[in-house]
Chain A
Amino acid sequence: MNVHTIRQAWMATLAKAELQQLEVLIQELDVPEYKFLRSPEIGLAMVRGRAGGTGEAFNLGEITITRCVIQMNPDQDRLCDQAISGFGYVAGRSLRHAELAAICDALLQHPSWYEQIDREIIQPLRSTAQHQQEIKQQQTAATKVNFFTLLRGE
């Protein structure tokens, strides 16, 4: 298992979020001005897998991803401060989703914004994801079948 950094964790949360929910949560914020370093663009990436998680790597198939990089400078008054770059990589073709993910990534890197974004965006997204995961598990558990092999008397 790879070691995940905190940033990888929040980027994953943002990428897996529902666009609608993300949009609603971000509307509540007063997002500083930003510009695109790389406008949202759609491309393909090869997904690779290993049989059983341990076998030889094989190409599973291609996935459409959308990526975007934005740049913002939340402390306008401190000119010496270098601008923050936020990256968004999401599966699918939603340009807006990549843009919102990049905005959140940029703000999360900023010390004075981190707590607010973590509390108001990341935590709600995580609890929604967890909730949905639980529902799915319950639905799966309800259809569980146990197989018994009876020893045949010879």
Chain B
Amino acid sequence: MTITQLPGFSHPVHDVQMTFRALMNALARPGKHQSISPELALPEGINLSCAAACLTLLDLETQVWLQANTSEMIKNWLVFHTGCRLTTDLSKADFALILDSSKLSELSCFYPGTDEEPQTSTTLFLQINSLTGGEPVKLTGPGILGEIHISPIVPENFWNEWRKNHLTYPLGVDILLMAETEVIGLPRTVKAEE
């Protein structure tokens, strides 16, 4: 296997801490934009926030599911810098990296956890182009004061799939919507309406 030619974070400690804080806030305050903008040389096909999240959350003990068309360059980069294990078994994946959102199939095919251990479900990093300009939706739920309106550009039928995912609570997947330098968190507790 060839190793990557790209370095990781230039200031590993601070960059990881800042990224982690943004991701944590994204899930604690669903629907609010959090910014992630460390300095990072990116392999082709992955955006900044998605790459930073990978370097922050993946390690030797995490299993990552990748889409079939993910490039070797990205795989090598991930494995070198995080040491994560790549898996093709959806039920074993801690994280799923969706770089090509148009190929996102049903959310129900991802691992939703079990009644005893709902926290073992898969977390999805969904790379999208923009957090604005898409179909507007209203979010309500824990962590949201009243309601919040967002309009990310998501794949077709995404919000239908999301409603089904929300109904399986306490099981279900959590999703991080990753635009270039901003992220929105969608924990399974969030209810989405037109």
Contact = CB atoms under 8 A, between A and B. Distances in A.
Q: Do A and B bind each other?
A: yes
A85 B12 contact: no
A71 B3 CA distance: 11
B3 A85 contact: yes
B92 interface: no
B5 A41 contact: no
Contacts of B12: 39, 41
B5 A38 contact: no
Nearest to B3: A85
A71 B5 contact: yes
Contacts of B81: 38
Contacts, number: 21
Interface in B80-94: 80-81
B133 interface: no
Interface string B1-41: 00111111000100000000000000000000000000000
Contact of B7 (A35, A41, A82): A35
A82 B80 CA distance: 18
A25 interface: no
Nearest to A85: B3
Interface in B60-115: 80-81
A65 interface: no
Contacts of B6: 37
A36 B7 contact: yes
Main secondary structure of the interface of A (DSSP, over half): strand
Nearest to B81: A38
Main secondary structure of the interface of B (DSSP, over half): loop
Nearest to A39: B12
Interface residues of A, number: 11
A41 B8 CA distance: 13
A30 B24 CA distance: 47
A40 B81 CA distance: 13
Contacts of A35: 7
B16 to A, nearest CB: 12
Contact of B8 (A38, A71, A83, A85): A38
A46 to B, nearest CB: 12
B4 to A, nearest CB: 7
Contacts of A38: 7-8, 80-81
B7 A83 contact: no
A9 B6 CA distance: 27
A36 B6 CA distance: 9
A85 B7 CA distance: 11
Contacts of A71: 5, 7
Contacts of B5: 37, 71, 82-83
Given A69-B3, A82-B5, 19 more contacts: A35-B7, A36-B7, A37-B3, A37-B4, A37-B5, A37-B6, A37-B7, A37-B8, A37-B80, A38-B7, A38-B8, A38-B80, A38-B81, A39-B12, A41-B12, A71-B5, A71-B7, A83-B5, A85-B3
* Shortest Cβ-Cβ A-B pairs, 5 listed: A37-B7, A85-B3, A36-B7, A83-B5, A38-B8
13 contacts: A35-B7, A36-B7, A37-B3, A37-B4, A37-B6, A37-B7, A37-B8, A38-B7, A38-B81, A41-B12, A71-B5, A82-B5, A85-B3
